[in-house]
Structures are given as structure tokens and as C-alpha cells.
Amino acid sequence: MMHKKDAASVVLTVWMLTLSGLLYILNIQDLRLFIATALVGFFIIVYLIHPTYSRPGYIRNINRMAIACTGLFGLVIVLRILELVGG
């Protein structure tokens, strides 16, 4: 039987491959869109695998990665807003 953290890496890989394939088929070449949607998938997976009653050691690293990804996601959104405002 697969553990949650092993299944999460498989699901995230499938999500990102599906997303990149869809963006390729639709001929969308915006890397920021890919990063933003990949991070949304990452946040959903982190939320789903977060244990409720225990705190394993790997959760601390996942929380740090989630904080870094939140900063990256915010940067992508800010750059997108500046691009739209700037013309």
C-alpha cells in the first residue's frame, strides 16, 4: 500500500504533466500560467496529505516548501498584475 507522501508525489507529477500537455495542445506559451496552476495543484496536495492527529518529521519540510511556493505564487501574481496595469 502506498503512503500519502508517496502518492502525493505521483499525483503532483501527473498533474504537472497533464497541465503541460494541455497548455501545449492549446498553444499557450506562458510559463507564469504554468507555474501558477502547478502551485495551485501543489497547495491542494499539501492540504490533502497534511495529517490531522500526528506530526511526522517530513511535514516540517513540506510546510517550508509551501511557504516558499506561496512567495513564488505571490510573485507571479504581482508580476501578472503589473503587466496588465502597465499595458
Name every residue whose Cβ is closer than 8 Å to that of residue 45 and which is 6 or more positions away in sequence. 8, 11, 12, 15
**How far is the C-alpha of 2 from the C-alpha of 20, rounded, in Å?**
26
**What pTM does this model have?**
0.59
Mean pLDDT of the chain: 81
Report the number of secondary-structure helices (H) and strands (E) in the chain: 3, 0
Domain span at residue 38 reads: 4-86
Domain tally, the chain = 1
What pLDDT is recorded for position 7? Answer: 81
What pLDDT is recorded for position 87? Answer: 61
Is 70's pLDDT higher than 80? yes
